[in-house]
Amino acid sequence: MTLSNEREKMLRGEWYDANFDEGLCEERRVAERACYDFNQTAPGSREQMEALRQILGTEIPTGVTVLAPVYFDYGGERTQLGEGTFVNHGAYFMDGGGITIGRNVFIGPFCGFYTASHPLAFAKRNEGLEKALPIQVGDNCWFGANVTVLPGVTIGSGCVIAAGSVVTKDIPENSVAAGVPAVVKSKIKQEGETI
């Protein structure tokens, strides 16, 4: 598989041809096939773990659990899952811009991490252009069900993002954030916090 100039633009966070560049299309097809294999095999089986290794392009970090179905646009070096991370059913990682998930992160069902955006003007959008910006999540975060995280967002360690929230801006560490768009509702005192 040849790497394209469009891939280089994607990695630099510039506008690139996501829809018609054959190199990027092939990378997504490879990831889609690996996701299909993962999603179609018995939970926890050797075949499923091998498919997850294919998706991530590396050994699975210690304590990582991913439940099917799961979807990655590229996988490989584009998404990194930290040790002890749990990914519930139906997660989607639109990872062209890169997604870094810290250690011991709980990702609820049907969460989506979306690094790509498109031009507002339809003529440019119809040319297949998009821009991908990285998403970074610190350690020990919890995402409730159906959380959406948009391009370029950084979420600090120790955060709780309430179910159904849409995270459009950075969230500082040890915050409870909720809403559409998500805003910080309170701070978490990690030491001495009650259940």
Residues 89-134: tens digit of each pLDDT: 999 999 999 999 999 999 999 999 999 999 999 999 999 899 999 9
Please count the CA atoms within 13 angstroms of the CA of 142 that sit on its side-chain side: 8
Residue 1, pLDDT score:
45
Contacts 24+ apart (CB under 8 A), 68-77: 68/38, 68/39, 68/41, 68/43, 69/35, 69/39, 70/35, 70/38, 70/39, 71/35, 72/31, 72/34, 72/35, 73/28, 73/31, 73/116, 74/27, 74/28, 74/31, 75/31, 75/34, 75/35, 76/31
Scanning the structure block, which residue is given the tokens 């519930």?
88
With a pLDDT cut of 70, the percent of the chain lying above it is: 96
Residue 176, pLDDT score:
98
User: What is the C-alpha separation between 158 and 102, in angstroms, rounded?
Assistant: 10
Quick check: 132 and 113 in contact, CB under 8 A?
no
Catalytic residue among 28, 53, 118, 163: 118
Is 89 one of the catalytic residues?
no
